Amino acid sequence: MFTHVDCAAFAHFPLVSQTTKIIYGRDMVTAALPGVADYLKLIGNRPHAMKVKADREASMAAFFASRQ
């Protein structure tokens, strides 16, 4: 079963993970939840999740290009 919780986790866990690496020097998400990397990989293999990820990467690249 794929729910709204999975969508929220796919959107937020990577952001929190990156933020804690910057602030604390380590990934607090995977430290607290050891299975989260496998879980995100599982979700990331879904076609719609791949599209979201590709769109997000393209948007971030365009944003940074516009700032130069």
Closest CA to 7 of 52, 68, 37: 52
Amino acid 42: pLDDT = 94
pLDDT, mean over the chain = 93
Amino acid 1: pLDDT = 86
Domain at 4-62, CATH class:
mainly alpha
Write out pLDDT tens, residues 6-60. 999 999 999 999 999 999 999 999 999 989 999 999 999 999 999 999 999 999 9
Which amino acid, 47? P
Q: Where are the domains of the chain?
A: 4-62
pTM of the predicted structure, to 2 decimals: 0.73
Helices (H) and strands (E) in the chain, counts: 4, 0
Tokens representing 5? Answer: 């919780």
Amino acid 48: pLDDT = 92
